[in-house]
Chain A
Amino acid sequence: MKMSLLTIFMIVFITGIVWGGFIFFLIKAINKERQKAANG
């Protein structure tokens, strides 16, 4: 079952923004917490 290029683009685009956004901010939050812990 083949997917069109448009569908593949949409999968990458939508999941990229939504899941990508979540992972981006999660990493940022983890780094900030690490910094805070290191600074006491």
Chain B
Amino acid sequence: MKHREFFSSRWGLIISTLGIAIGTGNIWRFSRVVAQNGGGSFLIPWVIFLLIWSLPLIIAEFALGKSTRFGPIGAIAKTAGKKYAWMGAFIAFVSTAIMFYYSVVTGWCIKYFVSAVFGNLLNQTDYLLYWNEFSSSYSPLIFHFIAMFICAAIIFRGVVNGIEKANKVLVTSLIIILFILLFRAITLPNAMEGLKYFFTPKMEYILDYKVWLNALTQNAWDTGAGWGLILTYAVYMKRNEDISINASLIGFGNNSISLVAGITIFSTVFALSSVDAMNQITQSGPANTGLTFIYLPLLFNNISSNPLLNTLFASIFFLALSFAALSSLISLMELTTRTFIDFGFNRKKAIMLVAGIGFLFGVPSALDINFFTNQDWVWGVGLILSGAFIAFAIIKFGVDKFRVEIINGEGSDIKIGKWYNVIIKYLIPAQVVVLLSWWLISSVSWDPDWLNPFNTENAGTCLFQWGVVIVIFILLNKKINQKLTA
């Protein structure tokens, strides 16, 4: 396989990979999940799962991409064996399905940024009505198109001139903006109450298994571990590039940003709304948008007595959110593009195809919030299977061989010890089994309609959609292997 482009330096690779991990999940999902799971009590399992889920899988993805020089399908086929190529296809499909609706989310962020800049956003009196009017109109379709177009134009320019350069601007600006907002938030009166809630653990929550399971899904969601995205960027890392330190920087860096965003949002919410702060922050709202698109604009209206200053803070918040979303959408589109390249397409044709398909398949999510919620639910949970398939591929290859020859091979700055074997062989599979079993058992016991495949958010719709995709890829397995560029 011809392969010409590489990230220009270690820092280019790290900042681009950080762009994958840092997304809207760090800003809006993290704060909501922390609030729903007892504040500080959630942070303990969240840190533990960073160490035993996210980091090992990020290391695995770096190693798979660097060693095979293929996207998810080729990487799994080369590592686990050709008869498991369908697993790689499932990983690629899950991220592609997420790309369809994530572009819609990116569009929402851009729309709110534009509204904030032009002063429309803070002029509103009823933000739920504002959101409902926006989401039920054709506007999300326009902003979905804009998001797709921006990212396609960036990827079109290639790895160094497109992906790397864009991420250098997006991620750096995002971090600067978040620190400006953090400083403003913690200097608000009563911000300490937010900090106290955010960090104080409560025993009843620590002993609740749901808190632990939510901590695992949050880690799976916001670090990008197991999605196949880091694997895709690792295809473009140089042969003499390190894996372990780079992977650790992504895992810890991503969660560092989540902490900054969490402190900022909790301080702001408690400072400006002491009465119903917790009610508001835990309410999901339509498609889990409550906190970000309905409640935060209301808070920005009260951040100071100067309307111009309020507009400035609202604008830079939604700019940061747009940057976070764009940097992640770039990686989602690149994964699908890489997959097409692996099947013999040239980059430019592949990008046009991905942008066209991405726009088309994103239309239902842009126009129907229930469809969006269903897709977010089905493929969000599907990421756990993706992580499991990556661990399976390494187990099939031989964990110790993988660790010694690939992770600790050429270019490694530090050597990973045998603890890695234990995590990949036992802890990751155990986490997958416990999480999926809990999810199924609780679905069966709570929801009498749990098997109905046409519900928006239940086990049945996941099992049905995953099942269809897996059966199709198993049937196409032979063809997939034939078409994969040698």
Q: How far is the CA of A29 from the CA of B11 in the complex (A)?
A: 9
A3 / chain B contacts, CB cutoff of 8 Å: 192, 195-196
B192 / chain A contacts, CB cutoff of 8 Å: 1, 3
B47: contacting residue among A4, A7, A14, CB under 8 A: A14
A1-40, CB < 8 A from B? 1, 3-4, 6-7, 10-11, 14-15, 17-19, 21-22, 25-26, 28-29, 32-33
B201 / chain A contacts, CB cutoff of 8 Å: 6, 10
B413 / chain A contacts, CB cutoff of 8 Å: 28-29, 32
Q: Which residue of A lies closest to B197 (CB)?
A: A7
**A32–B256 contact, CB under 8 A?**
no
B199: contacting residue among A1, A10, A26, A32, CB under 8 A: A10
Q: Which residue of B lies closest to A19 (CB)?
A: B256
A11 / chain B contacts, CB cutoff of 8 Å: 195, 199
B259 within 8 A of A: yes
B61 within 8 A of A: no
Q: How far is the CA of A4 from the CA of B312 in the complex (A)?
A: 35
- A28 CB, nearest partner CB in chain B, Å: 5
B299 / chain A contacts, CB cutoff of 8 Å: none
B245 within 8 A of A: yes
B236-269, CB < 8 A from A? 242, 245-246, 248-249, 251-253, 255-256, 259
B246 / chain A contacts, CB cutoff of 8 Å: 29
A22: contacting residue among B10, B40, B253, B414, CB under 8 A: B253
A28: contacting residue among B43, B190, B245, CB under 8 A: B245
Query: Given known contacts A29-B249, A33-B10, is B259 in contact with A19 (CB within 8 Å)?
Result: yes
B200 within 8 A of A: yes
Q: How far is the CA of A17 from the CA of B47 in the complex (A)?
A: 8
B193 within 8 A of A: yes
A25: contacting residue among B43, B200, B245, B255, CB under 8 A: B245
B14 / chain A contacts, CB cutoff of 8 Å: 29
Q: How far is the CA of A28 from the CA of B246 in the complex (A)?
A: 10
Q: Mark each residue of chain B from 77 to 121: 1 if its CB lies under 8 Å from any CB of chain A, else 0.
A: 000000000000000000000000000000000000000000000
**B47–A32 contact, CB under 8 A?**
no
A18: contacting residue among B242, B259, B414, CB under 8 A: B259
B114-140, CB < 8 A from A? none
B196 / chain A contacts, CB cutoff of 8 Å: 1, 3-4, 7
Given contacts A29-B413, A32-B245, 9 further A-B contacts (CB under 8 A): A4-B200, A7-B196, A10-B199, A14-B43, A14-B44, A14-B47, A19-B259, A21-B252, A22-B249
For the complex of A and B, 4 pairs with smallest distance between CB atoms: A22-B252, A21-B252, A25-B248, A10-B199
A and B contact pairs by CB, cutoff 8 A, 16 listed:
A1-B190, A3-B192, A4-B200, A6-B201, A7-B195, A7-B199, A14-B199, A18-B252, A25-B249, A29-B10, A29-B242, A29-B246, A29-B249, A32-B242, A32-B413, A33-B10
